[in-house]
Amino acid sequence: MNHSMLAAIAESSQAPQAVRSLARPLPAEGQVLIRVHAAGVNPLDTKIASGAAAHARQTLPAVLGLDLAGTVIELGAGVEGFMPGMEVFGMAGGVGGNQGTMAEYIAADARLIAPKPRQLSMREAAALPLVFITAWEGLVDRANVRAGQRVLVHGGAGGVGQAAIQLARARGAEVFATGSASSLDFIRALGATAIDYRTEAVEDYVQRHTAGEGFDIVYDTVGGDTLDAAFRSVRPYTGHVLSCLGWGQHSLAPLSFRGASYSGVFTLMPLLEGRGREQHGAILREAAALADAGKLAVRVDGHRFGLHEVNEAFRQIAEGSGVGKTVIDLLDEPASAEQ
């Protein structure tokens, strides 16, 4: 029996990744061995590869990749709820010194994965975990988004933005989202009211869409000046600003003068610290339920990259030339399986 596997190795920052043969991992207690069918590529992966993501604690050389969809091959001791042959997806590695998903096999903590949505292909499922978990941790865990609220998503056409729009709508909120002119039609197709942030001032769209009252929830998925804009557009007293990129230095005065709240979202924490991993699995089960109910879709870029084309996939993200989420295929899947 062959106990080796192919994996893409980021050997040093800025250097091209190389495909090497490695020993296939064995599932430890609480882990499942997964045959990876598809690995989603996130901007964070490209930052780690370039040496620009110290917060991810992934020292090179390393196998990168956070997101996957695949098939369970073997169970470690004490694992319940999974069985060999089950199709799963999750955000299972690639940070904190853990092997990433850009390999034929990965031994993943069973708490971090969930059964794959039946209505999504492997490629689509591999595109979901990081962005959906990030959207959920902000909108649901921090802000308890619900019917009757107005939600503004900054960066609505991005990965987290798309997930946030669909999640907020599924929970009954009225959703608005900012984007550039080229993304407005796509934002509308997701069911949100589109706002061109380049042509309309914050105060103007707050007045136009909320009669000057402000949005109940504002989710910043962009960072920088966009977070400052979020502080100026939230409803006084009960308003809640969220950000998954609130890493700069910002004046809290506009938020404080509104008496509103702010929450940061750091999705990597369970992978880095080991705490709260069960919540990631639970969130992914919610994602699967929404997808299977037709309330959650994901746009995957049509270009098919194999493992040996990992550098081209990373280049596509760096250049921003893809249309939808970039995914690497590690096991051939018929194109007709895509929704």
Does the pLDDT at position 334 exceed 70? Answer: no
Does the pLDDT at position 206 exceed 90? Answer: yes
Q: What is the pLDDT of residues 208-217, one digit of tens each?
A: 999 999 999 9
- State whether 137 and 214 are in the same domain: yes
Q: Where are the beta strands (DSSP E) in 123-223?
A: 150-154, 174-179, 193-196, 217-220
d(CA 238, CA 24): 51
Kind and range of the H or E run holding 129: helix 129-136
Domain with 71 in it: what CATH number?
3.90.180.10
Q: Count structural domains, the chain.
A: 2
Identify the domain boundary among 234, 264, 294. Answer: 264
Query: What is the structure's pLDDT at 80?
Result: 96
Q: What is the pLDDT of residues 237-292, one digit of tens each?
A: 999 999 999 999 999 999 999 999 999 999 999 999 999 999 999 999 999 999 99
Q: What is the pLDDT of residues 102-115, one digit of tens each?
A: 999 999 999 999 99
Identify the domain boundary among 212, 239, 264. Answer: 264
User: CA nearest 19: which of 76, 64, 57, 52?
Assistant: 64
- State whether 209 and 295 are in the same domain: no
- State whether 67 and 164 are in the same domain: no
Sheet of strand 150-154, all strands in order from the earlier edge strand to the far edge: 193-196, 174-179, 150-154, 217-220, 240-243, 261-264
> Percent of the chain, pLDDT > 90?
94
Per-chain mean pLDDT for the chain: 95
- State whether 63 and 186 are in the same domain: no
* pTM as predicted: 0.96
- State whether 255 and 176 are in the same domain: yes
d(CA 75, CA 97): 22
- State whether 137 and 88 are in the same domain: no
Q: Which residues pair with 193 in a beta bridge?
A: 176
Q: How confident is the model at residue 332 (pLDDT cuts 50, 70, 90)?
A: low
List the domain range (segments joined by +) for residue 179: 131-264
Q: Would residue 269 count as lying in a domain?
A: no
What percent of the residues of the chain are helix, what percent strand, and what percent coil, each to the nearest 5? 35, 25, 40
Place of tokens 């199709």: 87
Q: Is 295 exposed, middle or buried (0-12, 13-18, 19+ CB in 10 A)?
A: middle
- Are 161 and 155 in contact, with CB atoms under 8 Å apart? yes
Identify the domain boundary among 264, 285, 318. Answer: 264
